[in-house]
């Protein structure tokens, strides 16, 4: 058994080259489960994805009622818009002997850039687990599901969506082409390369391909996501001659003992993930700030003005940065709180630097020239308004000197 220190050094050594390409990205830790509902005796994979760090110490995770064991790490690298997003995936096997609803708390991961914390997760273990479990009990060698963290969201909110394709290890299969998420009433981010994990269901081992995207609802009411077809090319074990062939039936274990001569020709199949519904709430109109652009999420603002000393009539450049998590496509430039005595010009920039491959977190930068028309002793204040779906309130952020920021609810 390797000590945490040795494991940390091994991960740092193996992945130093990968992270040199993405050292400029903000460090973060994100946790996910290969399945959120399973039956007693099944196993799920808990993945902690770390980006922006070079040295990582895999934490020990303890949850009463769950057996969580560290099983190793892997690398993940994606190229999006000519930018490389590299990360380390810490993999844990999660098992439960008894039914129940379990909370995997926020986990702190020690890295060379400080401690990074994951979000909280919920795992439901029940004897009659629905969805993917039912498909496994039906004996399917391949099945898929569409999963979202919550079924009620707000208009414009960035909602993470995961499409999971389960492939029984006893077949040889690969995805022929990237799938397309169907549906109306929302915009979506193109699927990056899927994440590969392992999971056990009903005593069987599955390779799980997880396709991740983000959608943003464009209308209130019920929005249907899917169904979704995943085309695969699979080699199915051959059945006995005296038995009718069904491409996705289970066969006797003897058909899987010999790796040669037991598989048929490669066949094309389409695995369908059933559609799910989202309930989309409209943004409340009460207290809506002026020039609210529809930004939904959690954001912070920083402002810096230069030069610090000017004459009346000389321009000052305000560099304004909005960072956080949300629908950055609706993040517009901040505006002056009080334009009296200032002549503002149209903001420029709007350059967005993403921290993740789905572009849901990062920093958007604007610049605005302002000219004092009279004597001033402080930099102009600016305001950025957004809606926080967790607190269900619109919030303004403002900064006068660029040395701090304040928030207040409307």
Q: What is the CATH number of the domain that holds 254?
A: 2.60.40.10
211 shares its domain with 311: no
140 shares its domain with 248: yes
pLDDT in the model for residue 204: 81
pLDDT in the model for residue 128: 59
How many angstroms separate the most distant Cα atoms in the chain?
96
137 shares its domain with 234: yes
Tokens at 123, concatenated: 């795992």
Residue 261 lies in a domain: yes
Domain C-terminal end among 103, 126, 149:
126
pLDDT in the model for residue 20: 38
pLDDT in the model for residue 410: 23
Using only C-alpha atoms, the chain has a radius of gyration, in whole angstroms, of: 25
93 shares its domain with 54: yes
Tally the domains of the chain. Answer: 3
Residue 341 lies in a domain: yes
Domain C-terminal end among 126, 143, 172:
126
pLDDT tens-digit profile, the chain (410 residues): 444 444 544 444 343 333 333 344 578 888 988 888 888 888 888 999 898 888 899 999 999 999 999 988 887 766 555 566 678 889 999 999 889 999 999 999 999 999 999 999 989 898 754 444 444 445 678 899 998 888 899 999 999 999 999 998 878 888 888 888 888 899 988 888 888 888 887 778 888 899 999 999 999 999 999 999 998 888 876 655 454 444 444 333 333 333 334 556 678 888 999 999 999 999 888 777 877 888 999 999 999 999 988 999 999 999 999 999 999 999 999 999 999 999 999 999 899 998 888 888 899 999 999 999 999 888 899 999 899 888 755 555 443 333 333 332 22
pLDDT in the model for residue 16: 36
Residue 306 lies in a domain: yes
100 shares its domain with 214: no
State the residue range of the domain holding 199: 130-282
C-beta separation of 326 from 295 below 8 A: yes
Contacts of 118 (CB under 8 A, 6+ apart): 29, 30, 31, 48, 106, 107, 109
187 shares its domain with 314: no
Residue 289 lies in a domain: no
Residue 108 lies in a domain: yes
pLDDT in the model for residue 13: 38
137 shares its domain with 266: yes
Residue 288 lies in a domain: no
pLDDT in the model for residue 198: 82
246 shares its domain with 337: no
Residue 323 lies in a domain: yes
Helix H, strand E, coil C: the string for the chain is CCCHHHHHHHHHHHHHHHHCCCCCCCCEEEEEECCCEECCCCEEEEEEEEECCCCEECCCCCCCCCEEEEEEEEEEEEEECCEEEEEEEEEEEEECCCCEEEEECCCEEEECCEEEECCCEEEEECCCCCCHHHHHHCCCCEEEEEECCCCEEECCCCEEEEEEEEEECCCEEEECCCCCCCECCEEECCCCCCEEEEEEECCEEEEEEEEEEEEEECCCEEEEECCEEEEEEEEEECCCCCCCCCCCCCCCHHHHCCCCCCEEEEEEEEEEECCEEEEEECCCCCCCCCCCCCCEEEEEEEEEEECCCCCCCCCEEEEEEEEEEECHHHCCCCEECCCCCEEECCCEEEEEEECCCCCCEEEEEEEEEEEECCCCCCCCCEEEEEEECCCCEEEEEEECCCCCCEEEEC
Tokens at 73, concatenated: 């790490």
Residue 19 lies in a domain: yes
161 shares its domain with 260: yes
Tokens at 60, concatenated: 């020990």
139 shares its domain with 119: no
315 shares its domain with 373: yes
268 shares its domain with 311: no
Phi-psi region of 176 (alpha: psi -120 to 50; beta: other; left: phi over 0): alpha
Closest CA to 280 of 156, 148, 113, 177: 156
Q: What is the CATH number of the domain that holds 323?
A: 2.60.40
pLDDT in the model for residue 182: 86
Residue with tokens 């009346």: 312
């Amino acid at each position: 058994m390797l000590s945490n220190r040795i494991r940390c050094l091994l991960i740092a050594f193996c992945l130093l080259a990968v992270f040199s390409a993405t050292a400029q990205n903000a460090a973060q830790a994100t946790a996910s489960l290969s399945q959120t509902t399973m039956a007693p005796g099944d196993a799920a994979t808990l993945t902690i994805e770390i980006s922006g760090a070079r040295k990582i110490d895999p934490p020990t995770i303890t949850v009463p009622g769950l057996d969580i064991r560290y099983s190793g790490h892997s690398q993940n690298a994606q190229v999006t818009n000519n930018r490389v997003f590299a990360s380390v995936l810490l993999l844990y096997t999660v098992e439960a002997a008894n039914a129940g609803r379990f909370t995997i708390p926020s986990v702190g991961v020690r890295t060379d850039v400080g401690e990074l914390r994951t979000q909280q997760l919920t795992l439901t273990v029940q004897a009659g687990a629905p969805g993917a479990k039912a498909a496994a009990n039906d004996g399917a060698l391949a099945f898929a599901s569409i999963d979202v963290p919550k079924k009620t969201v707000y208009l414009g909110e960035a909602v993470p969506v995961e499409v999971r394709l389960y492939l029984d290890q006893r077949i040889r299969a690969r995805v022929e082409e990237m799938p397309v998420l169907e549906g109306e009433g929302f915009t979506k981010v193109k699927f990056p390369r899927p994440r590969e994990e392992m999971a056990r269901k009903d005593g069987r081992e599955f390779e799980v391909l997880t396709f991740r995207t983000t959608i943003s609802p464009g209308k209130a009411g019920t929005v249907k996501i899917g169904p979704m077809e995943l085309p695969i090319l699979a080699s199915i074990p051959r059945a006995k001659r005296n038995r009718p062939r069904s491409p996705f039936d289970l066969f006797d274990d003897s058909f899987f003992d010999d790796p040669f001569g037991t598989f048929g020709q490669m066949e094309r199949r389409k695995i369908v993930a059933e559609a799910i519904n989202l309930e989309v709430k409209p943004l409340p109109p009460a207290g809506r700030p002026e020039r609210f652009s529809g930004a939904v999420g959690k954001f912070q603002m920083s402002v810096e003005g230069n030069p610090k000393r000017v004459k009346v009539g000389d321009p000052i450049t305000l560099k304004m940065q909005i960072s956080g998590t949300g629908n950055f496509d609706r993040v517009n430039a901040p505006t002056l709180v009080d334009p009296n005595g200032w002549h503002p010009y149209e903001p420029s920039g709007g350059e967005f630097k993403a921290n993740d491959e789905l572009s849901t977190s990062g920093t958007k930068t604007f610049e605005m020239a302002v000219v004092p028309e009279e004597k001033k002793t402080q930099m102009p204040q600016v305001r950025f308004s957004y809606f926080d779906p967790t607190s269900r309130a619109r919030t303004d952020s403002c900064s006068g000197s660029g040395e701090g920021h304040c928030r207040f609810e409307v």
